Amino acid sequence: MQTGDIVTSWELDSIFDEAVPEIEFFRGRPLLILFFNLGCPGCKGRALPFANLLVFEGKDLSVVGIHSRFEGKRHLLSELKEAKKEFHIRFPYFQDRNDKNTFEKYQAGGTPHWILIDKNGNLAYSIFGSSPNNALLKLELKISELLQ
């Protein structure tokens, strides 16, 4: 996927028995997708809190999490549900179908991986990592540019 490409469908399964929205549901507003895994220290320690902060700040963008597994332990549905309380997750999140269908389709590099989509559904930015002085800083700058 290249910057400017239209980001099409995803393959997600519900964690909380809610309907999984189509990606088109988010058009008209920038969308930030966070690929994360509960076995990833950077996801739990930096990425989830950063995504929560964006929601808390009320930025004019939608945030969606996708729990993916490209390696490591398979997490039980009960663990994915418990994560909402444990990590104070304030945005909707879903499970990647077959652990990594959407992860591979969007060419994620690992977890955490961020996909920023503009209000027209085009890929604006894609970055792997959770370093505050690298990935999160760059991501915050890209979000600011999109929201101007």
Model pLDDT for residues 91-122, shown as the tens digit of each residue: 999 999 999 999 999 999 999 999 999 999 99
Domain that holds residue 44: 12-17+28-147
Lay out the sheet containing 123-128: strands in order across: 12-13, 93-96, 62-67, 31-36, 113-117, 123-128
In a domain, 70, yes or no: yes
In a domain, 125, yes or no: yes
Count structural domains, the chain: 1
Tens of pLDDT, residue by residue over 19-44, are 999 999 999 999 999 999 999 999 99
What mean pLDDT, rounded, does the chain reach?
96
In a domain, 80, yes or no: yes
